[in-house]
Amino acid sequence: MVVFRITPEGMHPAADSLEPLVEGLNLNREWLAKIPIDNLVALFADFAGKILRDPRTKSLEGCMFLSAWLGENNLRQLLQLNLNGNPAYLDGFQPLGRNYLAAKPQGLAAMWMAGNVATLPMFSLVPALLAKNVCLMKLADPDPAGMDKLLAVLAEAQAGELRGAELLEAVAVIWFDYHNRALNEQMSLAADVKIVWGGAEAIRAISALPRREHCGEIVFGPKYSIGLIDRERLEGDPAKLEDAVAGFVRDISVFDQRACSAPQTIFLERNAKRSLREVGEIFARQFAKLPPKPGLDSYTTMQIANVRARWAMDENRDVIASTDGANWTVCLDRELALKEAVQSRTIFLTEIEAWRDIIPLLSPKVQTVGLAFGRSEDALEFAEAAARAGVARCVRPGIMNNYESPWDGKLLINHLVRWVTLKL
C-alpha cells in the first residue's frame, strides 16, 4: 500500500491507488451539496468549542486561534465577504434584481498541504467544506502532526441532525511520498479545483501536473514577510514601542517562524533617540521571556550558528544572541535588503533612513508587513504604496500570523464555488 489515510483513528495504509478514494468521495457530492450552510456553520462552531476543551487538541500550536476563527460570527463574516454578501447563495438560487444567482460547489477539491503549520490543513479544509466541495487532502509529512486528532474531534462535533462523522465521509486526508508522480497525477486529474500550499519547488511541481480543462488552481506561497517601525514609534512612548516589539516577537515565535506571514526582516527608521543596538536589546529582552523552543534539527542549528558568526565577524554588522544554545538571534545591520530567512527565532533588524526606502523591495513575494507606525497618515500612505507593489496584508505587530480572508490577496471560498445565473 502506498497511499496512507489519516482518519480519527490515526494513519493507516489505505490503497495502492487513489481511484477507490475518489470514487467514494464523489458519491457524497450530492448529499453534501444539500446540507444547509447554516448547519455547516453550526457544526464548525461546535467543533470550535470542542477543540479548546478536548485534551487531544487543546495544546496543539495555533489551536486557540483556530477555535476563534471557526467561531460562528467569524465564519458568517467570512461567508458574507466571499459570497457577495449573501451566504444563502450556497443553498440555492437567490433573487438578484430581476434574476437569480447561486453558488455551486466546484466538485472535488484536491489540496496539497505544506508541512509548516499543524493547524493549516483546517484553514483549507473548512472553506472547501463550507463551499460544499468533497475534499481530497494530501499532507506534506507522514507524521499527521495533530491532523488526526483534529479530525477525531471534528467527528464528534454535532449540530442538530448533522454529525461531524457524517461530514467526514466527504473528506479523505491522505499521505503518499511526494516523489510518486503517478499518484500526484491521479490526484490532479481527479480535481475540479486544486489548492496548493507550500514552497517554490512544490508549487512548480504540482502546477505542472496534468489537470482537466475546467479545473482551476489556487496557489498559496511561497512568500516572505517583514516588519517596519517608523521614527515616531521609535522616538515616542517607550511602552508603545515595547508593545510593538512584544507583538513582533510573538509573530516570530509562532510556528517557529516557518509560516509565510512570519517576519524575517524588520526595518526601522534611523532616529534621534534609540540606536539600532538599543532596539536590538529590546527585542532580546522580549525573546528572553519566551519559553525555550521544544527542539531544533541539526540543519537549522547550523544555519543559526552560521548567521550568528557572519554577523558577529563583520565590522558593519552586529548580533545579539541567546547564550543558551540556538534559542534566539537578533542580527543587526544597515543593508537595505530582504535577508535570507533562517527561521526559528532569527530576526534581522535593519536600520534605514526612511520608510520610503523599502518600497523598491516590495513585490508580490512579500505577503505581510507588520506595521508599527506612530503616524497613521504615514501608515496609510505606506499601505497604499505596498499594496500597489504587490503586498497582500499590512497589519499591526502581534497578528501577522492570524489567518484571515482575503489571504494572499484571494477570497478562498469565492474561488471554491461556481457562480450560476438563472434568468427566466
Partner 1 sequence: MPHEPLDIDQQVEDLIRGPQYALPQAEKDRVLLDVLRERCHKIALVCPAYGRFLDRLGTPPETWRSLADVPLLPVAMFKHFFLTAVPPSEIVRELHSSSTSGQRPSRIPIDKTTAFRQTRALASILKEHLGGQRRPYLVLDAAESAAAGDTLSARGAAIRGVGNFASQTFFALRKTPEGDLESDWPAIEDFFRKYAAQPILLFGFTFMVWTRFVERAEERNLQFNASQAILLHSGGWKKLAARAVSKEQFNRRTAAVLGCSPEAILDFYGMIEQVGTVFVDCASGNKHAPAFADVVIRRPHTLEPVAVGEAGIIEVLSTLPASYPGQAILTEDQGVLLGVDDCPCGRKGSYFRFTKRIEQAEARGCGDTFAQAREI
Q: Fill in the per-residue mask, 2 to 31: x = in contact with partner 1 (CB under 8 A), - = not in contact.
A: ------------------------------
Question: Least Å distance between CB 315 and partner 1?
Answer: 7
Question: Least Å distance between CB 334 and partner 1?
Answer: 16
What residues numbered 100-139 form the site for partner 1, per CB under 8 A?
A: 114-117
Evaluate whether 167 touches 160 at the Cβ level (below 8 Å).
no
Q: Regarding beta strands 3-7 and 171-175, do their DSSP bridges make them parallel or antiparallel, or are they unpaired?
A: antiparallel
- The three cell numbers of residue 127 are 472553506
- Of 256, 265, 255, nearest to 225 by C-alpha is 265
Query: Would you say how long the chain is, in residues?
Result: 424
- Residue 314 or 353: which CB sits closer to partner 1? 314
Interatomic CA distance for residues 55 and 149, integer angstroms: 10
- The three cell numbers of residue 40 are 455547516
Does 309 engage in binding with partner 1 (CB under 8 A)? Answer: yes
Evaluate whether 215 touches 238 at the Cβ level (below 8 Å).
no
Question: Least Å distance between CB 114 and partner 1?
Answer: 5
Q: Regarding beta strands 10-15 and 158-159, do their DSSP bridges make them parallel or antiparallel, or are they unpaired?
A: unpaired
Helix (H/G/I), strand (E/B), else coil: 380: helix
Interatomic CA distance for residues 377 and 380, integer angstroms: 5
Q: With contacts defined by CB under 8 A, name the span among 41-49, 155-163, 222-230, 351-359 that binds partner 1.
A: 222-230
What CA dihedral angle connects 376, 381, 386 and 389, to 10 degrees? Answer: 170
Helix (H/G/I), strand (E/B), else coil: 305: helix
Does 361 engage in binding with partner 1 (CB under 8 A)? Answer: no
What residues numbered 199-218 form the site for partner 1, per CB under 8 A?
A: 199-202
- Residue 286 or 401: which CB sits closer to partner 1? 401
Distance between first and last Cα of the chain: 52
Does 60 engage in binding with partner 1 (CB under 8 A)? Answer: no
Q: With contacts defined by CB under 8 A, name the span among 42-50, 182-190, 304-312, 386-394 that binds partner 1.
A: 304-312
Helix (H/G/I), strand (E/B), else coil: 112: strand
Find the binder of partner 1 among 297, 360, 423, 424 (CB under 8 A): 297
Question: Least Å distance between CB 382 and partner 1?
Answer: 21
Q: Fill in the per-residue mask, 225 to 244: x = in contact with partner 1 (CB under 8 A), - = not in contact.
A: x-------------------
Does 410 engage in binding with partner 1 (CB under 8 A)? Answer: no
Does 336 engage in binding with partner 1 (CB under 8 A)? Answer: no
Where do contacts with partner 1 occur on this chain (CB under 8 A)? Answer: 114-117, 140-141, 197-202, 220-225, 257-262, 264, 293, 295-303, 305-310, 312-315, 318-319, 321, 324-327, 338, 340-343, 365
